[in-house]
Amino acid sequence: MAGGRRRGRGALGAAAVLLGFFIFSLSVGVEGSIHEYEEGTFTPQTNSFFFHGGSEGLYAPKNATSPSGRSFIQFESVTFRRTKEAAAQHGEMEQNNGLIEAIIVEIRDRERIGGNYLNSDAICCTSELAKDSSCKKGEVIIHRNSDNPDWPMRIRTSFSGSDDEAKMETTTVYINHTGMYYLYFMFCDPKLKGTVISGKTIWRNPTGYLPGKMAPLMTFYGSMSLAYLVLGLIWFLQFVRFWKDILPLQYYITMVIALGMCEMALWYFEYVNFNSTGTRPMGITVWAVTFSAVRKTVSRLLLLVVSMGFGVVRPTLGGITSKVALLGFIYFIASEALELFENLGNINDFSRKVRLFFVLPVAVLDACFILWIFSSLSKTLEKLQMRRSTAKLELYRKFTNCLAISVLLSVAWIGYELYFNASDPLGELWERAWLIPAFWNILAYLLLAVICVLWAPSQNSTRYAFSEEIGDDFDDEEAIALTGSGSKASGEVREEDKIA
């Protein structure tokens, strides 16, 4: 038994160390709309080599004549460095050699890159394809859009002589059409194999640096902050009004409301800062992520202890307290790791396999919570039926119905998420992507609001507190509603106080 405890503590310690290392590894640099390239390498594809420079949703400007309110992609200090062998092969006499192209394409026009329209799989123009002047040998094949002849956009940079370094001119490309834009750096010359890229590009929307798929979340988090504030204010007024009859469970509800309020406010300020600077503020982001993980953990624990009948059917959790605490701690670690990965990693593109490594533990733990919650609810309802506790039974039935509806909505939304991600691998539906995280926050808020209504502080709150069975008279008295405030109820309470 002792050995099992030591192994459990060792596992928890290892999890904590792993989380600490993960936080440290992400703290070295958090980038947002400013995409930095540090010794990036080019990947071969067909007869070309490419480096993915970024992809973001960009909105069309409301006022195209005002430079300050326009979307753009800006290239700053972008430098290409080739190997000495590649530089020697070209020689000093070739002034312009080793062409590298920056290609900006709206995802809907992706078929315009490469030789598809020439019935060829080639990306770079070959001697055969260049014969009919459809393209220029040694360059990426681009089929221009007749409605927008400058797009897809091509920006050329060449090496000079035998130099092993070429710097791209500082360039700003303005965006006039709403869409998901991809940036690729490409070259066709096989002699440039081994070339690396450094520098950065800055992407900006008309309203700020927030990527298009994240921009609506700033308004959403601001609205949720107000919603939690209103809920907190109503709860606080009731709490102060009936503070003498407050149940222990109602203190936990107060804590969840406070955590939700702080979390939404931190996310709002984090997004405001991100929108104005282009990079995520490390301190605020870590605090927001931590509050989010704590709020999710405490919310699930609240649902669990309510389902177990804490303070209503049983005075304490007894011997299962440690199990509940352990599940909560493990969930916090898993949730914190996932939140850090999603919010402190590269917001542009990350490995889906790596993300799955963080998503799976959270999904499994959520399933454990759901099973435990409904199992506990079943036992609680059974106990209340046996005791003929009419008012408490009705209360828990309402809670069970609300919880069941929320689970059904969650399952349906997970199905929608899977469909959304499977049908949109390139992010073409980016304008709706913000709805995915927004739904879970709204559902959590509504569940909390339901609990606040069902367990609202009132002068009769103590009638729902745990008590030993005292016969049918007690059951009749218990039928008084939790939020009831009639004079008869008050009189009965005073009579009971006299008898006591």
Does a structural domain hold residue 367?
yes
Does a structural domain hold residue 41?
yes
Query: How many domains are there within the chain?
Result: 2
Residues 224 and 358 in one domain: yes
Does a structural domain hold residue 29?
no
Helix pair 390-423, 352-387: axis angle to 10 deg: 160
Does a structural domain hold residue 14?
no
Single pTM value for the model: 0.78
Residue where a domain stops, chosen among 204, 226, 259: 204
Q: What is the pLDDT along the chain (500 residues), one digit of tens a residue?
A: 444 444 444 444 434 433 443 443 333 333 447 888 988 999 998 889 999 998 899 998 876 555 567 899 999 999 999 988 888 776 665 666 889 999 999 988 888 888 877 778 889 988 888 887 678 888 999 988 777 888 899 999 998 877 889 999 999 999 989 999 999 999 998 889 899 999 999 999 998 999 888 899 999 999 999 999 999 999 999 989 988 878 888 888 999 999 999 999 999 999 999 898 888 778 888 899 999 999 999 999 988 988 887 766 666 666 777 888 899 999 999 999 888 888 875 544 445 556 677 888 898 999 999 999 999 889 888 888 887 778 788 888 888 999 999 999 999 999 998 898 888 888 888 999 999 999 999 999 999 999 999 888 887 665 555 554 443 333 333 434 344 444 343 344 444 443 33
Residue where a domain stops, chosen among 180, 204, 228: 204
CA dist., res. 247 & res. 230, Å (int): 22
Residues 195 and 249 in one domain: no
Residues 387 and 412 in one domain: yes
Does a structural domain hold residue 421?
yes
Encoded amino acid at 254, one letter: T
Residues 226 and 142 in one domain: no
Q: What are the two backbone dihedrals, phi and then psi, of residue 83, each rounded to the nearest 5 degrees?
A: -70, 160
Residues 196 and 321 in one domain: no
Residues 161 and 254 in one domain: no
Residues 324 and 382 in one domain: yes
Residues 226 and 179 in one domain: no
- Token reading at 8: 């459990």
Does a structural domain hold residue 461?
yes
Which is nearest to 289 in space by CA: 351, 255, 227, 333?
A: 333
Does a structural domain hold residue 136?
yes
Does a structural domain hold residue 158?
yes
Residues 164 and 221 in one domain: no
Long-range contacts of 216-222 (CB under 8 A, 24+ apart): 216/434, 217/267, 217/271, 217/434, 217/437, 217/438, 218/268, 218/271, 218/272, 218/275, 220/434, 220/438, 220/441, 221/264, 221/267, 221/268, 221/271, 222/268
User: By residue range, what is the domain housing residue 138?
Assistant: 34-204
Residue where a domain stops, chosen among 174, 204, 234: 204
Residues 278 and 167 in one domain: no
